[in-house]
C-alpha cells in the first residue's frame, strides 16, 4: 500500500536539518519510492553552539545533553511542519517520520572503562507527540547490541534503491565524513561492501572556519586557488584510519576540530589557500585510494551529499580516476542533498513493518536485526 513518509538526516557537518517527503510502497527489493519534496533548514546559531558544546570533552555537561535531546526534537519537528506546509499536507497524511538524530558520540571499540556505544540526540517520543506522527529514531543501537559498529546504515537503502543487474555501482556520499557503498552487479545484500573512506567536508569546513571565518569552501574555489603541499598531504594520509581494512567507520572523534586545529598549528607556515587545497586533495586521494583498493571494477560512481557540490573536490577525484563515470544521485531521481534523509525513510519503512535493515557485512553485526525505536502517537 502506498504511503507517505518523511526521512530526516542531520549529519556530522552540523550544518542543519535535511528532511525528505517520499511516497513508499513495499519493502526490501520490492520497495518503490518516489521523492516528492525536500527541505533543508540550517540549525540556529544557538543550537549549533550547544551541539558543539555537547561533543567537546571540556564543555559537555549531562544537563546540556539532556536539554539538547529535547531542543533538537523540537527543531526537527519544526522542519517537518514547514515541509508539510510547503506542500499543503497535514500530519494526518504522513504514515511515519524516520529521524536519524544528531550523533553526539560514537564508540566503535571498547576502551578504558567505555563500552561500544552510540548516542543520537533528538528524542523520538517528543517528535511523535508534538507532530502527531509515529516516529522512528535511534537506528544504530540494535546493530551495536549484536556486535556491529552501528554504522554505516545507509547501505541498505543504497542496495534497495540502486542495485543494478549489469553495472557494478558505487554510491558515494560526501558529507562531513565520506562513505562508499559498493553494489556488485547482480549482487545480493550479502555482497554489499560499505565503509567510511575518511573525512569528506569535515576538515575542509573546520579549516575554512579557522582560517577564513567561513562555513565552507563554496564550490571548492579556495582549494582551486591553492597549491597542494606534500608534507601536509603525507601527514594527513599517514593517519592510521586510512590503513585499516573495512568494515570501518569514523567521525569527529578522529577527524574533528581538535585534529584540524593541531594540523593548522603545526603547518602554520603554509599559505591559507594551500592548506585548504591540501585538505581537499587529501579527501580526494583517500576516496580514490579506497575505490581503487576495494572497487577496482566499478562501472559507475554515483555521488551525493553536500560535498557533491564541491566542484574542485569532485574534479580532483575524477583526475585520480580518469576512466570512471561519475554521476550524481540526481541523475537517478534522488536529489543529492536529500539522499541520506531519503535513506532513513527507507530504513524506517522496514522498521514500521517489523523487518530488519542493517547490513551485517557492512557493520560487522552477527545478524540482521530490526533497527530503531517506534514512538506512537496514542
Ligand X SMILES: Nc1ncnc2c1ncn2[C@@H]1O[C@H](COP(=O)(O)OP(=O)(O)O)[C@@H](O)[C@H]1O
Q: Where does this chain bind ligand X (CB under 6 A)?
A: 11-13, 15, 175-176, 201, 205, 216-220, 305-307, 309-310, 340
Q: In 3-state terms, what secondary structure has residue 137?
A: strand
Least distance from Mg ion to the Cβ atom of residue 264, Å: 23
CA distance 345 to 228: 40
Q: Which is nearer to ligand X, 15 or 300 (CB)?
A: 15
C-alpha cell at 13: 557537518
Q: Which is nearer to Mg ion, 14 or 298 (CB)?
A: 14
Q: Which of Mg ion, ligand X, none sits in contact with 220, Cβ below 5 to 8 A by type?
A: ligand X
Single out the residue of 257, 298, 18, 16 nearest to residue 8, CA to CA: 18
Site string for Mg ion, 10-29 (x = CB under 5 A): -x-x-x--------------
Q: Which is nearer to ligand X, 215 or 230 (CB)?
A: 215
Least distance from Mg ion to the Cβ atom of residue 337, Å: 8
Least distance from ligand X to the Cβ atom of residue 173, Å: 7
Least distance from Mg ion to the Cβ atom of residue 44, Å: 15
E strand segments, the chain: 3-9, 16-25, 32-42, 94-99, 102-107, 117-121, 135-137, 169-174, 177-183, 193-199, 300-304, 325-328, 373-375
CA distance 55 to 52: 5
Q: What is the rounded (10 degree) CA torsion for 18, 308, 195, 13?
A: -50
Radius of gyration of the chain (CA): 20
Least distance from ligand X to the Cβ atom of residue 102, Å: 10
Single out the residue of 174, 189, 216 nearest to residue 301, CA to CA: 174
Least distance from ligand X to the Cβ atom of residue 247, Å: 19
Q: Which is nearer to Mg ion, 11 or 198 (CB)?
A: 11
Q: Which is nearer to ligand X, 204 or 298 (CB)?
A: 204
What are the b/e assignments for 143-174, b being 16+ CB within 10 Å? bbebebbbbbbbbbbbbbbbbeeeebbbbbbb
C-alpha cell at 189: 545484500
- CB-CB contact of 109 with 73 (8 Å): no
Q: Which of Mg ion, ligand X, none sits in contact with 216, Cβ below 5 to 8 A by type?
A: ligand X
C-alpha cell at 301: 560512481
Binding region for Mg ion (CB under 5 A) out of 6-14, 77-85, 185-193, 291-299: 6-14
Q: Which is nearer to ligand X, 48 or 228 (CB)?
A: 48
Least distance from ligand X to the Cβ atom of residue 9, Å: 6
Q: Which is nearer to ligand X, 86 or 219 (CB)?
A: 219
Q: Which of ligand X, Mg ion, none sits in contact with 274, Cβ below 5 to 8 A by type?
A: none
Residues at the interface with Mg ion (CB under 5 A): 11, 13, 15
Amino acid at each position: 500500500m502506498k504511503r507517505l513518509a518523511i526521512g530526516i538526516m542531520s549529519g556530522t557537518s552540523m550544518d542543519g536539518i535535511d528532511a525528505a517527503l517520499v511516497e513508499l510502497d513495499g519493502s526490501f527489493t520490492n520497495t518503490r519510492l518516489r521523492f516528492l519534496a525536500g527541505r533543508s533548514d540550517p540549525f540556529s546559531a544557538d543550537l549549533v553552539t550547544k551541539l558543539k558544546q555537547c561533543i567537546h570533552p571540556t564543555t559537555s555537561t549531562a544537563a546540556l545533553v539532556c536539554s539538547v535531546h529535547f531542543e533538537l526534537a523540537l527543531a526537527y519537528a519544526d522542519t517537518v511542519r514547514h515541509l508539510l506546509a510547503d506542500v499543503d499536507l497535514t500530519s494526518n497524511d504522513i504514515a511515519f517520520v524516520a529521524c536519524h538524530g544528531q550523533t553526539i558520540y560514537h564508540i566503535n571499540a571498547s576502551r578504558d572503562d567505555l563500552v561500544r556505544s552510540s548516542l543520537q540526540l533528538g528524542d523520538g517520543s517528543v517528535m511523535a507527540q508534538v507532530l502527531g506522527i509515529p516516529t522512528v529514531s535511534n537506528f544504530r543501537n540494535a546493530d551495536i547490541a549484536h556486535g556491529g559498529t552501528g554504522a554505516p546504515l545507509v547501505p541498505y537503502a543504497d542496495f534497495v534503491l540502486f542495485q543494478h543487474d549489469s553495472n557494478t555501482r558505487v554510491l558515494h556520499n560526501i558529507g562531513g565524513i565520506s562513505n562508499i557503498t559498493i553494489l556488485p552487479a547482480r549482487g545480493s545484500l550479502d555482497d554489499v561492501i560499505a565503509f567510511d573512506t575518511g573525512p569528506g567536508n569535515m576538515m575542509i569546513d573546520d579549516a575554512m572556519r579557522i582560517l577564513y571565518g567561513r562555513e565552507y569552501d563554496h564550490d571548492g574555489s579556495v582549494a582551486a586557488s591553492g597549491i597542494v603541499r606534500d608534507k601536509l598531504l603525507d601527514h594527513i594520509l599517514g593517519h592510521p584510519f586510512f590503513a585499516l581494512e573495512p568494515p570501518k567507520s569514523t567521525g569527529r572523534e578522529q577527524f574533528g576540530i581538535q585534529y584540524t586545529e593541531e594540523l593548522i598549528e603545526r603547518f602554520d607556515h603554509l599559505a591559507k589557500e594551500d592548506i585548504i587545497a591540501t585538505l581537499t586533495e587529501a579527501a580526494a586521494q583517500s576516496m580514490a585510494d579506497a575505490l581503487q583498493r576495494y572497487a577496482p571494477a566499478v562501472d559507475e560512481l554515483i555521488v551525493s551529499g553536500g560535498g557533491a557540490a564541491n566542484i574542485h573536490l569532485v574534479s580532483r577525484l575524477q583526475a585520480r580516476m580518469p576512466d570512471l563515470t561519475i554521476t550524481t544521485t540526481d541523475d537517478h531521481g534522488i536529489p543529492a542533498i536529500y539522499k541520506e534523509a531519503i535513506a532513513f525513510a527507507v530504513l524506517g519503512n522496514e522498521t514500521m513493518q517489523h523487518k530488519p535493515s542493517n547490513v551485517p557485512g557492512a557493520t560487522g553485526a552477527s545478524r540482521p536485526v530490526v533497527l530503531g525505536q517506534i514512538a506512537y502517537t496514542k
